[in-house]
Amino acid sequence: MSPLYFVSTNHNKYLEIESILQKYCISVVFSKLALTEIQSDSIEEIAIEKSKHAFAEMSRPVIVEDDGLFIYELNGFPGQYSSYVYKTIGNDGILKLMNNSKQRFAIFKSSLAFSDDMNHYGFTGEAEGKIAFNITEGGWGYDPIFIPNGSDLTYGQLQMLNRKTEFSHRAKALNRFAQWYNQNYKGMSTCEYKWDS
């Protein structure tokens, strides 16, 4: 059976995804490829279309991931444009936009999409939390400014303690995907795994 490929230009995402899928005995190979991204208000739709494009390019089973940071005080910005916004204004820019904001509630959403020659499926995960007042150490992307509910630490600080997956939106989407994948692709796993509750 063909190996599973994670298609992205973001190697940090791959490392995080690989470490989570290992516990389900799913091996994943990184394939660096820039994918066409449709304009849509839905990160789920964006991820599904990217996975179809990735499969068309590779003719192999693929997963792609799209995520977004939705900040309520900013009417959901940067949302589905999170990657572009991070590249242009970064965490400093986000904090400047929220300079006088006391309401800092945000949701980090992840949409993981799988495609092969017959299937196109999406799996989502969300983490509620808030935007920090300062940029912390650790992590990548928005990790140093997002504090998930249930923690006083940012994703960046949690990553440094190897605890980010306890709260991660991406881990929730990956857990859902992994359970579906192991149920539908019999014989792919070569070791014993435990289901998450």
pLDDT at 195 over 60: no
* Three-class SS state of 30: strand
For tokens 């309520």, name the residue.
72
41 tagged catalytic: no
Closest CA to 172 of 130, 126, 129: 126
Q: Measuring CA to CA, how many Å separate 72 from each of 17, 101, 103, 160?
A: 27, 11, 8, 27
| Mean of the per-residue pLDDT values of the chain | 91
pLDDT in tens, 42-99: 899 999 999 999 999 999 999 999 999 999 999 999 999 999 999 999 999 999 999 9
Alpha helices in the chain (DSSP H): 11-22, 43-58, 82-88, 90-97, 155-160, 169-184
> How many angstroms separate the first and last alpha carbons of the chain?
28
Average pLDDT of span 165-173? 96
Structural domains of the chain in order of their starting residue, each with its CATH number = 4-184 (3.90.950.10)
Whose tokens are 């017959």? That residue is 118
Q: Which of 41, 66, 67, 117 is catalytic?
A: 66
- The three-state secondary structure class of 37 is coil
